[in-house]
Amino acid sequence: MTALRARVDRELRRFTDAETEALLAVDEDLAPLAAVLSDATAHGKRLRSAFCYWGWRAARQPDSEAMVRAAAAMELVHAAAVVHDDLIDDSRLRHGLPTAHVALRSAVTRGTRVNPRAASLAMLAGDLLMSWAGQLFTGCGLPGAYLARARPLWGVLARELVAGEALEILRAAGPPDVTQSLKVIRYKTAKYTVEHPLHIGAALGGGDPALRGAFTDYGLPLGEAFQLRDDLLGLYGEPEHTGKANTDDITGARPTALIAHALAAAGPAERRELSRLLGRSGLTDAQLDRVRAVVESTGARARVERMIGDRVALATRALDGAALPTPAHAALTHLATALTTRPA
């Protein structure tokens, strides 16, 4: 897995360096945008590329540099989603660094409306990253007939990713509903993190419908467990480890399953207190600690931990019944653990 990540990193650096050089050839004033694009692609666990690669290997295809490039395109989808997500949520930190729209403020200091102009640049950066994903994928070097098998899946990926993001926006600050929260998780994160990369890799490799069905049975619960863990880390994790502010979900009043469980189980006084803090900007440390205490006392944290465990068990059972080649089975089993046991 470490070797695969290094190979993906090399392909992303090569591609990004060439594309930012071409961008700067248009005009040197685009340097701040080029820097943000480079930063956006330089970080990450490379999970989505790993799932795509092992989808290919599960279809009994050999290792291939062209396939590594195709898999690396999944990381550009993720980079685009992150830039847009941070912009929507007005998040300030990612990987311990300023987010794209925050970093770009230094490029538009002349004149007025600095923040909206920086946000516009960040939106364009995210759009270009998504375009780059298609460009790297189609130019990866795999035969055209292979690419044609996977091309329709890209439309599904984009539609469902946008649907999940839109549902989160539409349901922010709404009434607590765990079922609806899980639907947002499924479409905003689970599918494009696990299921779609696996399906694309399997399709490239000529995998049959049974393999894709097994990947859905594995990918959806695992992707949900990944996001549920992220929700816990978002509230209880330390920013120096997570690279993100641990107030984002609360100030954004995001409809997470964790908060939905807490609101549903809280008594009247705790529910009023939690509702009052949700959506409030500039939370103090004491207020954040109070949110954590309410979530803990209602049993919501423990319940989400059980949800994670249940989903990982479902995912691993789906693998065991899929008759995968041994290397693919081992890698996907490892990934199931790596996704859901991240330290705070």
pLDDT category of residue 191 using cuts at 50, 70 and 90 = very high
Q: Domains in the chain, please, with CATH?
A: 1-42+65-141 (no CATH), 145-344 (1.10.600.10)
pLDDT of residue 242: 75
pLDDT category of residue 24 using cuts at 50, 70 and 90 = very high
Give yes or no for a contact between 78 and 12, defined as CB atoms under 8 angstroms apart.
no
pLDDT category of residue 240 using cuts at 50, 70 and 90 = confident
The mean pLDDT of 151-172, rounded to a whole number, is 93
pLDDT of residue 282: 83
C-alpha of 84 from chain center: 11
CA–CA dist 121, 191 (Å, integer) = 28
Closest by CA position to 100, among listed 163, 37, 30: 37
pLDDT of residue 150: 97
Query: Which residue in this structure is represented by tokens 């207190």?
Result: 273
pTM: 0.93
pLDDT category of residue 344 using cuts at 50, 70 and 90 = low
DSSP three-state, residue 98: strand
Residue 77, pLDDT > 80, answer: yes
Residue 162, pLDDT > 60, answer: yes
CA–CA dist 172, 165 (Å, integer) = 11
DSSP three-state, residue 1: coil
Give yes or no for a contact between 71 and 197, defined as CB atoms under 8 angstroms apart.
yes
Paired tokens of 268: 């009247």
Question: Tens digits of per-residue pLDDT, 295-335?
Answer: 999 999 999 999 999 999 999 999 998 999 999 999 999 99
The mean pLDDT of 67-95, rounded to a whole number, is 94
CA distances to 20, 38, 90, 112 from 32, rounded to whole Å, are 11, 10, 19, 18
- What is the rounded average pLDDT for all residues in the chain? 93
Higher pLDDT, 112 or 25: 25
pLDDT category of residue 171 using cuts at 50, 70 and 90 = confident
Amino acid identity, position 108: V
Residue 224, pLDDT > 80, answer: yes
Residue 69, pLDDT > 90, answer: yes
pLDDT of residue 343: 61
284 DSSP 8-state letter: -
Q: 337 phi and psi, to 5 degrees?
A: -75, -45
Higher pLDDT, 152 or 109: 152
CA–CA dist 74, 304 (Å, integer) = 28
pLDDT of residue 111: 83
CA–CA dist 97, 323 (Å, integer) = 42
The mean pLDDT of 255-277, rounded to a whole number, is 91
The mean pLDDT of 219-223, rounded to a whole number, is 97
Which helix (H) or strand (E) element contains residue 94?
Answer: strand 93-94
pLDDT category of residue 213 using cuts at 50, 70 and 90 = very high
Give yes or no for a contact between 310 and 271, defined as CB atoms under 8 angstroms apart.
no
Long-range contacts from 235-238, C-beta under 8 angstroms, 24+ separation: 235/291, 235/292, 235/295, 236/292, 236/301, 236/344, 237/344, 238/344
pLDDT of residue 71: 98
pLDDT of residue 238: 81
